[in-house]
């Protein structure tokens, strides 16, 4: 997904620059590019797409799958040099019906207007500016076959909300994104399934699908790119989740992260730390006691990653990488009394070692091996093919 039609056009060029001999540009800089006025004479209507086919091979034969994970197409329309519509539709798992696992979703649909060289605004359905992946999760823009666990289990990537957003780009290298949005609905929590254990916020976000709007949220992200190849920043979200339903306690959800990315010479180094919190979970969990999946009070994750452009020739490029991450989707629970309070979940650690092979800047072949410290039966080999334009 892209933050603007201008950014979609620039990402493959920035990626090619990173993978070529010159280290002057980086993926981090491309990922954080702010909207700019579309040059006069460029096409009014632009078609975009990205997608991926993945093969996962854990030790259990029954869990080995090949999947057309997602196919995304976008239509972007330029009304004028400063006003545009950005929209993207995703099809997951190839087939969508009442009896299949696939789904069709509108992933973003917003109007954007560039008020000046510094300020822009967006409205309707946007990707929230959190972490390094949520706004920039095309398979050509990250390492490894699967998206990292921290930014899928702790962040509900792809996290989108109905919002009004203001964006500022300043000459000192700072970029600001802030706004008001719809929020979560804690009433969607299913204590009988493992969905909340896999991703607490992923199980209760609303995606602007008849979203309950008694409670909303506010968000802000600040990033700095004052030195070539360096990105340092953070984000925060605070929102209500009770949605005013009778019998639902007042609930607030907070989520924050700090992140950095540095691309000196042939290297691409990144790290991220995040934590989420749900308030008043003792009252929320009281009627759920005895269910297998209660609502956690806190959850967290972090990762560190290093990649290297080891070889390139023409459009071809080879980039091995290693990533280590730790995350816990239920790091603490509110006290419900002796024998009733769930035990904190174990913190999972995952080591991923792999390689991205770029056929062109817009087409990538991937392979990796993932080793789990707790769920050792999930150790697996992954293969993938992705594209983006």
Tell me how many degrees the CA angle 341-342-344 measures, rounded to the nearest 5: 125
For residues 235 and 212, give the distance between their C-alpha atoms in angstroms, rounded to a whole number.
24
Rg (CA), the chain: 21
Domain 5-388 has CATH 3.90.650.10: no
Q: How far is CA 263 from CA 8, 73, 160, 194, 308, in A?
A: 21, 30, 28, 38, 9
Q: What is the DSSP string of 289-317?
A: TTSS-PPPSEEEEEEEEEEE--EEETTEE
- Contact yes or no for 5/141 (Cβ under 8 A): no
The terminus-to-terminus CA distance of the chain in angstroms comes to 10
The SS3 assignment for 1 reads: coil
pLDDT in tens, 56-105: 999 899 999 999 999 999 999 999 999 999 999 999 999 999 889 999 99
**Smallest Cα–Cα separation from 282: which of 255, 252, 249, 254?**
249
pLDDT at 40: 62
Phi-psi region of 107 (alpha: psi -120 to 50; beta: other; left: phi over 0): alpha
Indicate the domain borders of the chain.
5-388
- Contact yes or no for 324/369 (Cβ under 8 A): no
Tokens for 274? 């995040």
Digit-by-digit pLDDT tens for the chain (389 residues) are 333 333 333 333 334 444 443 333 333 333 344 454 456 667 899 999 999 999 999 989 999 999 999 999 999 999 999 999 999 999 999 999 988 999 999 999 999 999 999 999 999 999 999 999 999 999 999 999 999 999 999 999 999 999 999 999 999 999 999 999 999 999 999 999 999 999 999 999 999 999 999 999 999 999 999 999 999 999 999 999 999 999 999 999 999 999 999 999 999 999 999 999 999 999 999 999 999 999 999 999 999 999 999 999 999 999 999 999 999 999 999 999 999 999 999 999 999 999 999 999 999 999 999 999 999 999 999 999 999 99
The DSSP element (H or E) to which 18 belongs, if any, is helix 5-19
pLDDT in tens, 98-150: 889 999 999 999 999 999 999 999 999 999 999 999 999 999 999 999 999 99
pLDDT at 43: 86
Q: Give the predicted TM-score (pTM) of the model.
A: 0.89
């Amino acid at each position: 997904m892209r933050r603007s039609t201008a950014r979609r056009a620039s990402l493959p060029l920035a990626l090619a620059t990173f993978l070529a001999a010159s280290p002057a540009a980086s993926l981090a800089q491309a990922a954080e590019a702010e909207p700019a006025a579309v040059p006069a004479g460029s096409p009014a209507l632009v078609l975009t797409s990205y997608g991926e086919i993945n093969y996962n091979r854990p030790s259990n034969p029954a869990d080995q799958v090949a999947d057309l994970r997602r196919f995304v197409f976008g239509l972007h329309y330029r009304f004028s040099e400063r006003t545009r519509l950005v929209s993207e539709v995703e099809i997951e798992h190839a087939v969508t019906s009442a009896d299949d696992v696939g789904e069709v979703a509108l992933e973003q649909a917003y109007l954007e207007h560039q008020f000046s060289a510094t300020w822009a605004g967006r409205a309707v359905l946007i990707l929230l500016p959190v972490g390094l992946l949520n706004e920039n999760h095309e398979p050509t823009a990250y390492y490894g076959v699967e998206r990292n666990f921290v930014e899928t289990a702790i962040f509900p990537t792809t996290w989108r909300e109905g919002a009004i957003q203001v964006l500022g780009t300043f000459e000192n290298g700072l970029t600001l994104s802030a706004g008001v949005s719809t929020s979560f609905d804690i009433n969607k929590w299913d204590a009988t399934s493992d969905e909340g254990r896999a991703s607490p916020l992923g199980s209760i976000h609303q995606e602007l699908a008849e979203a309950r709007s008694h409670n909303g949220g506010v968000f802000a992200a600040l990033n700095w790119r004052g030195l070539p190849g360096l990105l340092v920043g953070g984000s925060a979200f605070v929102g209500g989740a009770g949605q005013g339903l009778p019998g639902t306690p007042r609930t607030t959800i907070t989520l924050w992260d700090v992140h950095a990315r540095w691309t000196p010479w042939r290297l691409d180094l990144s790290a991220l730390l995040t934590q989420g919190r749900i308030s008043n979970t003792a009252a929320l969990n009281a009627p759920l006691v005895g269910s297998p999946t209660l609502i956690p009070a806190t959850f967290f994750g972090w990762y560190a990653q290093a990649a290297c452009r080891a070889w390139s020739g023409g459009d071809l490029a080879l980039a091995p990488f290693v990533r280590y991450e730790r995350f816990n989707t239920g790091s603490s629970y509110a006290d419900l009394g002796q024998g009733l309070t769930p035990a904190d979940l174990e913190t999972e650690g995952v080591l991923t070692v792999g390689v991205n092979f770029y056929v062109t800047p817009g087409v990538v072949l991937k392979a990796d091996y993932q080793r789990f410290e707790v769920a050792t039966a999930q150790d697996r080999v992954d293969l993938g093919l992705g594209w983006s334009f």
